[in-house]
Structure 1
Amino acid sequence: MRIFKVNWYPPANEALSRLFPDVELEIDAIPTDPAYRIARERSRAADALINCSATHLVPADIEDFEKVRIVVREGVGYDNLDLEGWGARGIPVCNVPDYGTTEVADHAIALMLALTRGTATFAESLRADPVGNWRFAAAPLIRRHKGATFGVVGLGRIGLAAARRAAAFDMKVVFYDPYLPNGTELSVGYERVTSLSKLMEISDIVSVHAPLNDETRGFVGRDAFAAAKPGLVLVNTARGPIVDLDALAVALREGRVAGAGLDVLPQEPADVAHPLIKAFIDKEPWTVGRLILTPHAAFYSPDAIRDMQRKAIEVIVAYVNEGRLTNCVNRQFLKTPAPIRRAS
């Protein structure tokens, strides 16, 4: 079986060769053009395709990947895959939804704590002047977490994991997720609200864990920030375009939002010309201690990478060798529905 991996990143895959001796991996480096085309002579023989990147696109043109039977996004988000295009070819698209749940949830809480306990601000302040800045009140967003309200946008695997961590800090957890069935609030034990505006209005922290799609693009924007509770801190470890960066810049500058921790941005790497990013780089006073950026790193740990790579191949092997389809995200677009075989 030949698997073609594109947009890959380290570590290399020697361990995968030992785990899957019958699988031949062909790896393409990260392209500079997000709309690049893969040379046909390198893709004709592939039985499966893995896209490692969360942002770079792989087209579903009919002339490419002639033998491919399944496409896997090596990660959770799949907004950069043409679900309908692959489906029209009868090719299922799958993801790996369960590899880095704890890492992303931990990172969301870490961003919250870096702002609301001031750890990042203290460190930078002391780097500049370890004597004169030896002050416990240097960070502007210090607060008590016990009794504060932690709002979750999207209570999936990662959102639920973040909620449980926040609850361990004795925070009250509320969530907004219109796609979960009625009664979910009873099973998880957290309060549910029926609108994003209500969540913003009652929360001290709002952590975004929704997928990116047409409904969520720019979802956390001007109207949401207008409804924000004074002192709100926003955390986004999901997808950058869910948060309207222009609206966030205005809300932060005007003080309607107290702080933000962003692991993801609409453009990655960061657009240094964007007003919010430029203000962060220039250390404009209204960003100091109030804005933290990390480089789409929430998913990362060496263990998570190993799990992600292994699980992506397991999905392919299960389908190609056994006809067992797991984690399919384009079933509604499949021209010929893929078979479902359940383990006995």
Structure 2
Amino acid sequence: MLMQHVRMKRVVITDYLEPPAKIESKVLAGVAEVECLLAKSTQELFGKLTDADGLILCHEVSITREVLQELHHCRAVVRCGVGFDNIDRKAAGEMGIYVCNVPDYGVDEVADHAIAMMLACNRGLIKAERSIRRSLNPWDMRAIQPVFRVAGAKMGIIGLGRIGGATAVRAKGLRMDVVAHDPYVRAGTDKLLGVPLVELEELLRTCDVVSVHTPLTEESRQMIDGKALDLMKPTAILINTARGAVVDTDALAVALREGSIAGAGIDVLPEEPARSDMPLIQLWQEDTQPPVNLIVTPHTAFYSDAGLLEMRTKAAMELKRILSGQKPKNCVNIEFLR
């Protein structure tokens, strides 16, 4: 009797993660072979995914309708992370392809990062380090002024989901007065956390710190634009550890340069990796005195050794379920599936 050859399924990690993909290969052992493409742009995906049965996607490329049209065997695209705005969910659904994410990893890491950025901006840690490292002058409080007292200050959380809620709990632990804006929050979450809900304009006008934790949608794209920044206190600090395009970073560069707000901590940009022609990056790289109170980190708020392991394991497990004929746990395009 002739033995029928069964093709081993192929899973491609499109970007960001370098080979060998030991974590994913271990989870998918016996189900699929895993390879890392390390694409730096969406254009690099074309012609390389035609026989892929599943994709694991990070944040440096996008899965567009045009890319999806080349996928002849693909059953699922799993975003290795929370946000899924870099995947055409509708087009994938029309082609019968699941789009999934990992919504419950890295909550502590991102919340910690947001609070760390807030404290560093307010206490002038980076500002002082940059300004007096060579001159050693002024060796006093003038190097960091102005600084507001965190206890009793008001923090506004935009997006009271898992990470926004975790940030609120930490801020309350610092004895801050915390409010939030989230028209889609589950009923009762505000009461559970003890965080009153307010309109966005009120939050921007009254808060000493504004921390962004909303997903990127057409509604939230450039939610923090020039007009929103003009509403903020001149002593206020903006933190964004959510999605880069929620903030108009060109307008933020202007606001910081003109002193319209006091500082910003930015972990995510509208386009990544950062480019030297971005106005916000140019401002960050300027060697001026006194330095602008701006902290930029390279999309690392999610990261810890444990957080990365959790994220990669859960993404691979979701794909394993689908490739094994089971239903996914975290499908985000179910309304488009045929």
Q: TM-score, normalised by structure 1?
A: 0.88
Q: Which residue of 2 aligns with 1:190?
A: 195
1:8/1:27 CA distance change after superposition, 3 Å: farther
Contact persistence 1:36–1:58 (CA under 8 A):
no
Aligned pairs, number? 329
Change (3 A) 1:238 1:11: farther
Q: What corresponds to 1:91 in structure 2?
A: 97
Match of 1:282 among 281, 286, 293: 286
- Which residue, out of 102, 112, 116, partners 1:110? 116
| Gap change, CA 1:244 and 1:144, over 3 Å in 2 | same
Contact 1:141 1:290 in 2 (8 A): no
Q: Which residue does the alignment assign to 1:330?
A: 333
Q: CA deviation at 1:141?
A: 4.1
User: Are the counterparts in 1 of residues 15 and 60 from structure 2 also a CA contact under 8 Å?
Assistant: no
**How far is the alpha carbon of 1:59 from its aligned partner?**
3.2
Matched residue, 2:26: 18
Counterpart in 1 of 2:46?
38
The one-letter amino acid of 1:56's match is V
Q: Quick check: 2:39–2:45 contact (8 Å CA) kept in 1?
A: no
CA distance in 2, matches of 1:110, 1:284: 24
Aligned to 1:69: 75
| Residue-by-residue CA offset, 1:304-342 (whole Å, 9 max, x unaligned) | 21111100011122233252221111111112xxxxxxx
Matched to 1:103, the amino acid is E
Superposition deviation, residue 182 in structure 1: 4.2
Residue 164 of structure 1 is matched in structure 2 by 169
1:236 corresponding residue in structure 2: 240
Decide whether the 8 Å contact of 1:3 with 1:25 is kept in 2. yes
Alpha-carbon distance in structure 1 between the residues aligned to 2:53 and 2:307: 25
> 2:284 is paired with a residue of what secondary structure?
helix
Contact preservation (8 Å) 1:5, 1:25: no
**Would the alpha carbon gap of residues 132 and 228 (structure 1) be closer, same or farther in structure 2, given more than 3 Å must change?**
closer
User: Offset at 1:200?
Assistant: 0.5
Provide the rounded CA distance (Å) in 2 between the counterparts of 1:285 and 1:39.
Answer: 50
- 1:139-150 to 2 correspondences below 5 Å: 139-150=144-155
Q: CA deviation at 1:78?
A: 0.6
Contact 1:75 1:99 (8 Å CA) reproduced:
yes
Choose which of 123, 126, 147 in structure 2 pairs with 1:120.
Answer: 126
Question: Gaps spanning 5+ residues in structure 1: where?
Answer: 336-344
Distance 1:145 1:284 in 2: 27
1:214-258 CA distance string (max 9 Å, x none): 111111112212221231100001111111122222222332211
Query: Per-residue displacement from partner, 1:120-151 (whole Å, max 9, x unpaired)?
Result: 2233345324x444324311342210000111
1:141, 1:97 → 2: CA distance? 38
The 3-state SS of whatever aligns with 2:255 is: helix
Give SS of 1:191's match. coil
* 8 Å Cα contact 1:140/1:290 also seen in 2: no
| Aligned twin of 1:271 | 275
Alignment partners' CA distance in 2, 1:8 and 1:145:
37
SS of residue paired to 2:11: strand
Q: Distance in 2 between matches of 1:107 and 1:7?
A: 24
Q: Show the 5 A alignment for 1:253-268.
A: 253-268=257-272
Q: Aligned pair 1:308/2:316, yes or no?
A: no
- Counterparts of 1:172 and 1:25, CA distance in 2: 51
Q: Which residue of 2 aligns with 1:207?
A: 211
TM-score (norm 2): 0.90
Query: One-letter code of the match for 2:85?
Result: D
What residue number does 2:299 align with? 296
Q: Determine helix, strand or coil for the equivalent of 2:43.
A: coil
Q: Percent identity?
A: 41
Question: Which residue does the alignment assign to 2:323?
Answer: 320
Q: CA 1:22–1:139 in structure 2 vs 1: closer, same or farther (change >3 Å)? A: same
Q: CA RMSD for the aligned pairs?
A: 2.1
